[in-house]
Amino acid sequence: MHPVYNSRSPLCRAPVGAVPSGTVVRFRVYPESYRFPVRGYIVLWTDGRTPRSVRMTHHGRFEDREVFEVDIPTEDYAGIVFYFFRFENEGGSFCYGARIGRTGGEAEFSASFSPNPYQLTVYSPASAAAAPEWFGDGVSYQIFPDRFARSGAPLSPDDVLADGTSMSSRQRIARAWGDDPDPSPELFDGRMQVTNRDFFGGNLAGITEKLDYLASLGVTTIYMNPIFEAFSNHRYDTADYEHVDPLLGTEETLGTLCREAHARGMRVLLDGVFNHTGSDSRYFNRLGRYGDGGAFQSKESPYYKWYHFTKWPRSYESWWGMDSLPAVNENDPGYREYIAGENGIIRRWLRAGADGWRLDVADELPDSFIAEIKRAALAEKPDAFVIGEVWEDASSKISYSVRRKYILGVDGSPALDAVMGYVFRTAALRYLKGGSAADFRDEMEDLRENYPPYATHNSMNILGTHDTPRILTLLGTPDEVWEGPKETRAKLVCAPEDRPRAVRLLKVAAALQFCYPGSPTVYYGDEAGIEGSEDPYSRRTFPWGKEDGGILAHYRLLGDARRRYEALRRGSIEYLAADGGLLAFRREVKDDPAVPPVIFASNVSDEMLPLNLEAGSVWRDLLTGSIFSEAFVIPPRTARILVPEAKL
């Protein structure tokens, strides 16, 4: 039976999905004939505007349905248009509105206003024109610089750093590679706090030495957590945006890394922390280590207006109340010029060799500031890439009482090219841990419908990051262990009897990640079998020489498949199955029949599940080399990546 309305069907909405501003969108609705609809309306509104009703034209009957149609111009607008449908008959009115349960189908409301409307995303054409494709085409690899690889001798308290100071003089603690990170609070600056000042000595030269290893995984983009001078090992408490942290190297070391990466076809993405600085920084300088020019020392400081003092100098706004991270006033013209001006931080480090930026806590940055950052990046490099940390659906999120336009554009200016794929991670984990494949499909199809095509293509699809537990540990431990206090999970890893099952699920997860639209992003060491709960145990050192060979070989196969098959990089997606533990979809470049399609199929259940494909077709599994015909079964906790082998 034909649905009343399905926002994903071209029979109901054309074009389907997000549209550039200026597009005329045709809506077609099929209410039941037995309701005797006489008049039909589409009710539309945007934030802050009164809903308006537009009369639809009746176009006769289709099967047992009436057909109503209307064309709506989107005009010069970037944002979200909400809508539902209202029909009148002799007895009153009835409404259709919303994607209840993420189904994309219709839901009836007797009220005159839909409480959960459909969404039409309208984006700026400038954003589409400015978004490069190289990030989404490739494979990304996230590195926590202190923990990935060290070039040179083991770290020592007496090591002299690049700026001429020693480890001990900077109050940094040297640890041996392979030791556990220290989560303990200590007395520092008169308070008990977790300082994150234990260092293992990973550095930029170490990353450069491992570029061939990364190439063997198919990596095309290296994303590094912050590398600029800071007190902590995570370096989200920036002390000086103009200098590489001396523990990591120098500007020249970074330049060498970028040049060597480029020679291997890789790009380098830096982490920009522009919502706050460290209190121990040249800008704020609460501890006085940077002379007397900081905002904490003087209201005459050039940095004083960067911060939100409520009672100078000790009372000020900070990120999540952490006084070691004073919040920056991103609307201050001087700060904006320093970050996004012609000689600002964005352009300086792109000029030094980097290829783009990941913006930390993008929720905290005004859309206009994000637009300035993107314009600055484009001015320096026309194919520069800028991505934001957003954990939810970025098309419609409200942050600080404002509907955000992260990926849509602001006043005709380009916006973010994409956001981090935390929605993908959440949906994938739910499926992998026994959830419904249909829920995964529906949640991800909602996102594809809501996002501009460039944001879908460039999504940083993750299974874990420095802010989450390790994926292998999550898959190999019961849900109840995560419900208690964090202290009980301090050194949590899979029990020996549970690890084989977790490894099988991890291989399924990685295969899904590498086959789904977007850039599969590997958190360093996941491919080696690293385990750990939350920070700091998700930030252990890379186990060089002790990698899990089976997992590593699997990731190399996936990287090779992504490189060899264009359909995995740029193909459309069509779901073939989504039932219980069975998930299958087809990736295909429809305008080029010479490009072979690829089918992904997975079974996360405890039983064998059948999958039926095109009659007479023969397929080869890229993961095992096995040949399958049109009908076969998939073993429990297994994935297949199929390419056409021959025709019978």
Residues 68 and 56: their CA atoms lie apart, in Å, by 6
Architecture of domain 569-647: Sandwich (2.60)
Domain 277-329 has CATH 3.30.565.10: no
Q: What is the pLDDT of residue 637?
A: 98
- At 171, the pLDDT band (50, 70, 90 cuts) reads confident
pLDDT at 646: 66
State residue 240's pLDDT score: 98
Q: At what angle do helices 422-432 and 499-515 cross, to 10 degrees?
A: 140
10 Å CB burial of residue 179 (0-12, 13-18, 19+) is exposed
Report the SS3 class of residue 119: strand
Q: Report the C-alpha gap between 541 and 489 in whole angstroms.
A: 19
Instruction: Give the integer Cα–Cα distance in Å for 22 and 370.
Output: 23
Residue 562 reports pLDDT greater than 90: yes
Count Cβ atoms below 10 Å from residue 116 Cβ, excluding itself.
13
Digit-coded pLDDT (tens) for 348-404: 999 999 999 999 999 999 999 999 999 999 999 999 999 999 999 999 999 989 999
Q: Which residues of 126-160 are buried (b: 16+ CB within 10 A; e: fewer)?
A: bbbebbbebbbbbbbbbbbbbbbbbbeeebeeebe
Is residue 115 within 8 Å of residue 197, measured between CB atoms?
Answer: no
Same fold: 129-275+330-563 with 569-647: no
Provide the total of helices (H) and of strands (E) in the chain, helices listed first: 16, 37
Closest residue by Cα to residue 327 from 347, 345, 309: 309
Given a cut of 60, whether residue 112 has pLDDT beyond it is: no
* CA 504 to mean position of chain CA atoms: 24
Average pLDDT over residues 297-317: 97
pLDDT digits (tens, 9 = 90+) for 71-110: 999 988 899 999 999 999 988 888 887 543 333 344 444 3
Residue 1: its pLDDT value, please?
63
pLDDT tens-digit series, residues 333-348: 999 999 999 999 999 9
Instruction: Give the C-alpha separation, 208 to 210, whole Å.
Output: 5
Structure confidence at residue 108 (pLDDT): 44
Structure letter (DSSP) for residue 164: S
CATH architecture for segment(s) 129-275+330-563: Alpha-Beta Barrel (3.20)
542 three-class SS: coil
- The per-residue pLDDT for range 471-514, each reduced to its tens digit, is 999 999 999 999 888 888 988 999 999 999 999 999 999 999 99
Q: Cα–Cα distances in Å, from 357 out to 385, 387, 639?
A: 6, 6, 33
- End-to-end Cα, the chain, rounded Å: 35
303-315 mean pLDDT: 97
Q: Which long-range contacts (CB under 8 A, 24 or more apart) does 246-249 make?
A: 246/161, 246/162, 246/163, 246/165, 247/146, 247/161, 247/162, 247/167, 247/172, 247/199, 247/201, 247/203, 248/145, 248/146, 248/202, 248/203, 248/204, 249/162, 249/203, 249/204, 249/205
Supply the pLDDT for residue 647.
Answer: 52
Radius of gyration of the chain (CA): 26
Q: Which pLDDT tens digit goes with each residue over 233-284?
A: 999 999 999 999 999 999 999 999 999 999 999 999 999 999 999 999 999 9
Question: Which residues belong to the active site?
Answer: 360, 389
Q: What is the pLDDT of residue 378?
A: 97
pLDDT for the residue 298: 96
Q: What is the DSSP letter of 169?
A: G
In the chain, where are the structural domains located?
13-123, 129-275+330-563, 277-329, 569-647
Superfamily (CATH H level) for 13-123: Immunoglobulins (2.60.40.10)
pLDDT band with cut points at 50, 70 and 90 for residue 185: confident
What would the pLDDT profile of 449-474 be if each residue is shown by its tens digit? 999 999 999 999 999 999 999 999 99
Percent of the chain with pLDDT over 90: 83
**pLDDT per residue as tens digits for the range 578-624:** 999 999 999 999 999 999 999 999 999 999 999 999 888 999 999 99
Q: How high is the pLDDT of residue 141? A: 99
Predicted pLDDT at 106: 43
Average per-residue pLDDT for the chain: 93
Least confidently predicted of 23-37, 75-89, 112-126: 112-126
Kindly give, in sequence order, each residue whose CB lies less than 8 Å from that of residue 574, ignoring residues fewer than 6 positions away.
585, 586, 588
